[in-house]
Structure 1
Amino acid sequence: MIDFILQRLDAEASAIETEWNASDRGTRTRHCAIDSLLPDDVALAIHAAFPRDGEGFMTRKSFREHKRTSANLDQYPLILADITYALQNPRVTQRISELTGMDGMEPDPHLYAGGLSMMFPGDFLNPHIDNSHESSRSKYRRINLLYYVTPEWRPEYGGNLELWDDQVTSPVTIPSLFNRLVLMETNKLSWHSVSQVVPGRGPRCCVSNYYFSEKSPTGDDYYHVTSFTGRPEQKIRRALGLVDNAARNYARERLGMTRATDKGYSGTLANDE
């Protein structure tokens, strides 16, 4: 898998650099998509390793999000761990660092933020910015890597990544197509969401990874928990998000609450998208 990934990165190097650095696209969040990351038979095998009913996955359900996640890779076929850690391999990490121009990237071997996600009909993630650091708060989150593996998935099925402008008024949509890897910069303005999966579709399956670095994306020190807002038409959720985000930031900063409280749910898993 590592060799396949490196071959695709090299083959698409020029396109990756161009797309990553493109401007005036409705969002300042740099991003790019690499299609056909692995041979189709390998990607199909990865998809087949997901439990069809989400067995063993943690359900996350609130006004912020509906989805199921797991970082317990040892409970599932080995191929799910293989693809997760292939994307964390030092050669892959270094190549992506070079292509994005972001030096000093480090992977997330303890899966503080990464792992597996499944989205069933009605599931969604409202606009949010990811928590700024890993568990020790010594490294900033810098790049999200989202690998989609559901065969024949179409944009109209929902479950698509959406990148928003600074005011969260208009999104750029990136369909979660089969065998597609999306790279997305993350910082304190990288608002993103996942559109609701339509009835009769799903689960939409994704392997998530995150890179960190000691260097701040903005050059200054900052910290925040994962912070949610509503879509433009969701006025109440927007107001609720302001209160919820402030409360959880206060709890984390002043009361030293655990990362589970930081994430807004009970459990040992942290996984964003």
Structure 2
Amino acid sequence: MAHEITSPAIINFEHWKTQFEGAADQYQQAHPYPFGVFDNFLDIDAAREAMHAFPGVQDQGWIHYVHVNEKKHGLNKMDLIPEPIQEVIKALNSDEFVHILSNLTGIPGLIADNSLEGGGLHQSKRGGFLNIHADFTVHPHKRNWRRRVNVLIYLNENWLPEYEGNLELWTRDMKACAQKVLPIFNRCAIFNTDQDSFHGLPEPIKCPEDMTRKSIALYYFTEETAAPRKRATNYQARPGDGFKSVFIYLDKQMVSWYNTLKGWLGIDDKFVSKVLNFLNGRKK
């Protein structure tokens, strides 16, 4: 469940309550699916403190997702996340924020995921990418929790367009990229996660070697009476991917198998990180 109301020094709840109410119709009718982009999202001091506290990829606890469809790093253990970022996460998982998020999206009964399954902190180095996909549909450890909304907070100061790393939103038929969102500092991207809400950052990041693309990723669910249809992350080839599409499909099947195994055995993504690191000859 969500946390209690957190200090307004992290985020101005009253401001965003008003902004979200005004943006609700535009959000819910957006193309190619419901989404919105909101700049200057966190209190500026809180955002800078979170950015400067962002741990390095080699620090303890990072999960290294390195396979055909992605090259990124994630950290979802709250006790390993620096306190300034923990405070941001608590604010965005608070009852007050979840309530105004429901108003924006038009989805009643949203639930924050305090386990940060698949979310938390995301970070990609130069050359990192995430192929176009629709997200997993059901929480791996809560069979009746249907995934509904993503909230992404970008913490990338001085990020330039030539660095790539755009969040791309693709049409539901996967024929074209409909929107691109540059991951600039203190920008928040929010979008619904339906069966065909295809998105990703498929172009390899071209930032300098001493920079990384950083984001806080939080996912919200609804508890359904009947267990919703469960499906793993659904990676998709883009038009023009050619023979690469075969590898995208095969890798997607492996991810689906792993997702099923994770639910059966109760394992987490730390396990798959170790397997992928082993297969890629990495020593951690």
TM-score bracket for the superposition, by shorter chain length: 0.7 to 0.9
Matched, 1:70 2:75: yes
- Of 109, 127, 141, which aligns to 2:147? 141
Matched, 1:55 2:67: no
Does structure 2 retain, via aligned residues, the 8 Å contact 1:54–1:118? Answer: no
2:218 is aligned to 209
Query: Structure 2 vs 1, CA of residues 2 and 141 (structure 1 numbering), >3 Å: closer, same or farther?
Result: farther
- Of 86, 105, 111, which aligns to 2:116? 111
What is the CA-CA distance between 1:250 and the residue it aligns to?
5.6
What is the CA-CA distance between 1:252 and the residue it aligns to?
5.3
Matched, 1:127 2:132: yes
Query: Structure 2 vs 1, CA of residues 9 and 63 (structure 1 numbering), >3 Å: closer, same or farther?
Result: same
Query: Structure 2 vs 1, CA of residues 193 and 10 (structure 1 numbering), >3 Å: closer, same or farther?
Result: same
Query: Structure 2 vs 1, CA of residues 144 and 203 (structure 1 numbering), >3 Å: closer, same or farther?
Result: same
Q: SS where residue 112 of structure 2 aligns?
A: coil
- After the TM superposition, which residues 254-273 of structure 1 pair with which residues of structure 2 at under 5 Å, given as runs? 257-258=264-265, 265-266=272-273
Matched, 1:155 2:161: yes
- TM-score when scaled to structure 2? 0.82
What is the CA-CA distance between 1:233 and the residue it aligns to?
2.5
Query: Structure 2 vs 1, CA of residues 251 and 126 (structure 1 numbering), >3 Å: closer, same or farther?
Result: closer
Query: Structure 2 vs 1, CA of residues 261 and 255 (structure 1 numbering), >3 Å: closer, same or farther?
Result: closer
Separation (CA, whole Å) in 1 of partners of 2:142 and 2:180: 32
- Of 92, 97, 121, which aligns to 1:87? 92
Separation (CA, whole Å) in 1 of partners of 2:132 and 2:250: 15
Separation (CA, whole Å) in 2 of partners of 1:176 and 1:76: 21
What is the CA-CA distance between 1:248 and the residue it aligns to?
4.6
- Of 8, 28, 36, which aligns to 2:15? 8
Separation (CA, whole Å) in 1 of partners of 2:138 and 2:12: 26
Query: Structure 2 vs 1, CA of residues 38 and 244 (structure 1 numbering), >3 Å: closer, same or farther?
Result: closer
What is the CA-CA distance between 1:178 and the residue it aligns to?
0.8
Query: Structure 2 vs 1, CA of residues 230 and 260 (structure 1 numbering), >3 Å: closer, same or farther?
Result: farther
Does structure 1 retain, via aligned residues, the 8 Å contact 2:74–2:119? Answer: no
Does structure 2 retain, via aligned residues, the 8 Å contact 1:104–1:213? Answer: yes
Percent identity between the aligned chains? 24
Does structure 2 retain, via aligned residues, the 8 Å contact 1:225–1:262? Answer: no
Separation (CA, whole Å) in 1 of partners of 2:144 and 2:14: 32
Q: Which piece of structure 1 moves more, 102-111 or 72-81? A: 72-81
What is the CA-CA distance between 1:160 and the residue it aligns to?
1.6
Separation (CA, whole Å) in 2 of partners of 1:8 and 1:156: 32
Q: Which amino acid is 2:188 matched to?
A: L
2:185 is aligned to 178
In structure 1, stretches of 5+ residues that fail to align are 269-273
What is the CA-CA distance between 1:230 and the residue it aligns to?
2.8
Q: Which piece of structure 1 moves more, 43-52 or 235-244? A: 235-244
What is the CA-CA distance between 1:267 and the residue it aligns to?
5.5
Q: CA RMSD in A?
A: 2.8
2:204 is aligned to 196
What is the CA-CA distance between 1:156 and the residue it aligns to?
2.6
- Of 18, 28, 31, which aligns to 2:35? 31
Separation (CA, whole Å) in 1 of partners of 2:224 and 2:49: 37
Separation (CA, whole Å) in 1 of partners of 2:235 and 2:189: 21
Matched, 1:169 2:169: no
Q: SS where residue 16 of structure 1 aligns?
A: helix
Query: Structure 2 vs 1, CA of residues 267 and 95 (structure 1 numbering), >3 Å: closer, same or farther?
Result: farther
Q: Between Structure 1 and Structure 2, how many residues are aligned?
A: 263
Separation (CA, whole Å) in 2 of partners of 1:94 and 1:261: 29
- Of 91, 97, 101, which aligns to 1:96? 101
Q: SS where residue 73 of structure 2 aligns?
A: strand
Q: Which piece of structure 1 moves more, 135-144 or 226-235? A: 226-235
Separation (CA, whole Å) in 1 of partners of 2:235 and 2:89: 26
- TM-score when scaled to structure 1? 0.85
Q: SS where residue 136 of structure 2 aligns?
A: coil
Q: Which piece of structure 1 moves more, 76-85 or 46-55? A: 46-55
In structure 2, stretches of 5+ residues that fail to align are 1-5, 276-284
